[in-house]
Amino acid sequence: MDDRDLQYEKYKSILENYLEEQSEQTLYKGQQFSRKMIEQQISPEEAVSLHVSVLEELFPDLPEPLKNSYDFLLEMMIGYGFAYREHQSLRNRQQQLESEIEVAANMQQTLLAGKKPEVDNLDIGAISKPAQKMNGDYYHFVQDENDCVSVAIADIIGKGIPAALCMSMIKYAMDSAPEQRMQPGAVLENLNRVVEQNVDPNMFITMFYGLYDSRVHSFYYAGAGHEPGFFYDSEKDQFEELFTKGLVLGVSKKTSYREYQRVLNGNDMVIMLSDGVTECRSSQGFIERDEIVAMIRKYIHLSAQEIVDSVYKELERLQEFELRDDFTLLILRRKV
Amino acid sequence: MNLQIKQEDQGNTHNLYIAGEVDAYTAPQLREALLPLTGKESHETLVHLGDVNYMDSTGLGVFVGALKSSKEHGSTLKLRGMTSRVQRLFEITGLDEVIDIEDAKGGSK
């Protein structure tokens, strides 16, 4: 017996059982059988055709109108068959796309994988996790020969592939104007021009840019509509908002950005984040900025990297391990 | 994850009443309602946001798009009565300086 005959016999026995006694158990067997048929890619019209042949064997004297009605049903099922095959081919296509996205995500990782700077008097922590495969958050450190460290953190509106594409534009624009690195306001003005010309009208980017000059222990910074970070004053043991005023990138051609400055004493910290951190929603509602501060405080005795890792783990747990938005948290701490 | 939009017109003034959440899922719906209005020369569009309890950056993006469209077509766009939570978003992003926002209502701060 070949597969087809086996199938026929099996279907016949299930159907006979059911006709004798309409039990739940037999119905269940029917369900299992149909699952197998789907696995073997049997089309809906083939399934009806199988039913008709079995029926004709069991009841040779089937009334003519009934027989004809089955021909009619077969014809109807052909449409479903097409839909089914289309579904199959879409599934294949989807798998193909997924593997392409995987490749793109890996490329993005390579593009982003900037080294964390090693500076004698600075303790640096950085973490960035995408909600989906591609990350719409961006951060980048650059260290120069004078031990000045510049840091950029950006959030591109939306998630997924469009955001990731936009991000490579930012990285390219920043890499191509290295002489501006020391002037946060000018960096943002320049980026704003690039972004304004190149993005969809509904899109924008928020960015915070800072420069730490370890010779004078000063942090110079400017913001383009980015979620404010925090400044930790270790002497007062207080967290303050790292406020900046500035329009998001990509909205208005001529925008200027104010530059701010903070001096860091030993153990002072600059904390930068993306709105994925403050837009976290737990089952009890939004996670407020105060709670983020409380978490950082809880781990303040650890190294900067351990702090950001621990805060991430805690937030992940609060959201039942399902990130809704990309998450980025950076800490710079002046060592004593 | 639900958004209701109601439109009332008085001459050249269009009132859009928005209620619910404006996020990545509902933003296209808002864009579809809003953009045709801002594209009409010398018309005024008033967006009432008092019943919006959540907005994310995609939602802000719709207003950025609407602002650009109104500038391009010579129409006026105004936002009215947003909650403090939503207002904070417009302040952080600096959009409160480029978009016409009227009196805030509600909220604790």
Domain limits, CATH 1.10.1240.30, in chain A: 3-92
Interface contact B64-A201, CB threshold 8 A: yes
Q: Is A44 on the interface with B (CB under 8 A)?
A: no
Burial of A272 (C-beta count, 10 Å sphere; 0-12/13-18/19+): buried
Contact A213, A220 (CB under 8 A): yes
Distance from CA of B8 to the nearest CA of A (A): 25
Burial of A161 (C-beta count, 10 Å sphere; 0-12/13-18/19+): middle
Q: What is the pLDDT along chain A (336 residues), one digit of tens a residue?
A: 678 888 999 999 999 999 999 999 999 999 999 999 888 888 889 999 999 999 999 999 989 999 999 999 999 999 888 888 898 899 999 999 888 888 887 877 777 766 788 888 899 999 988 877 777 788 888 888 888 999 999 988 866 677 777 888 888 888 877 777 789 999 999 999 988 888 888 889 999 999 999 899 999 999 999 999 999 999 999 999 999 999 999 999 889 999 999 999 999 999 999 877 666 665 666 677 888 899 999 999 999 999 999 999 998 888 776 666 778 899 999 998
Model pLDDT, residue B23: 86
Please give the ipTM for the structure prediction: 0.85
How far apart are the C-alpha atoms of A284 and A61, rounded to whole Å? Answer: 67
Domain limits, CATH 3.60.40.10, in chain A: 114-334
Q: Which residues of A touch B64 (CB under 8 A)?
A: 201-204, 248, 250-251
Question: What is the spatial order of strands in the sheet that A327-334 belongs to?
Answer: A122-129, A327-334, A269-273, A229-233, A238-242
- A129-147 as b/e: b if 16+ CB within 10 A: bbbbbbbbbbbbbbbeeeb
Model pLDDT, residue A323: 67
Q: Which amino acid is at A306?
A: E
Count the neighbouring beta carbons within 10 Å of the beta carbon of residue B10. Answer: 9
Give the nearest chain B residue to A285 (CA atoms): B54
A129: three-class secondary structure by DSSP: strand
Q: Which residues of A touch B95 (CB under 8 A)?
A: 225, 247-248, 251
Give the nearest chain A residue to B95 (CA atoms): A247
Model pLDDT, residue A155: 87
| Mean pLDDT, chain B, integer | 89
Count the neighbouring beta carbons within 10 Å of the beta carbon of residue A291. Answer: 16
User: Which pLDDT band, with edges at 50, 70 and 90, does B56 fall under?
Assistant: confident
**Whether the predicted pLDDT of B68 surpasses 60:** yes
Least confident of A40-44, A262-266, B54-58, B105-109: B105-109
Burial of A257 (C-beta count, 10 Å sphere; 0-12/13-18/19+): buried
Q: Please list, in sequence order, all residues whose beta carbon lies within 8 angstroms of the beta carbon of residue A336, skipping any fewer than 6 positions away.
A: A266, A267
Q: In whole angstroms, what separates CA A251 from the centre of its chain?
A: 25
The beta-carbon neighbor of A251 closest among B58, B92, B98 is: B98
Contact B51, B105 (CB under 8 A): no
Domain A3-92 belongs in CATH node 1.10.1240.30: yes
Query: What one-character DSSP code corresponds to residue A114?
Result: P
User: Which pLDDT band, with edges at 50, 70 and 90, does B108 fall under?
Assistant: very low
The beta-carbon neighbor of B93 closest among A202, A248, A279 is: A248
Phi (first) and psi of residue A188, to 5 degrees: -70, -40
Domains and CATH numbers, chain B: 3-45+58-81 (3.30.750.24)
Model pLDDT, residue B106: 42
Model pLDDT, residue B109: 34
* Domain covering A114-334 in this structure, CATH number: 3.60.40.10
Model pLDDT, residue A280: 60
Model pLDDT, residue A238: 95
3-state SS record for A159-192: CHHHHHHHHHHHHHHHHCCHHHCCCHHHHHHHHH
Q: Which residues of B touch A228 (CB under 8 A)?
A: 92
CA distances from residue A107 to A181, A194, A198, A331 in whole angstroms, order as listed: 25, 23, 22, 26
Interface contact B56-A279, CB threshold 8 A: yes
User: Which pLDDT band, with edges at 50, 70 and 90, does B107 fall under?
Assistant: very low
How far apart are the C-alpha atoms of A227 and A243, rounded to whole Å? Answer: 9
Query: Number of Cβ pairs closer than 8 Å across A and B?
Result: 58
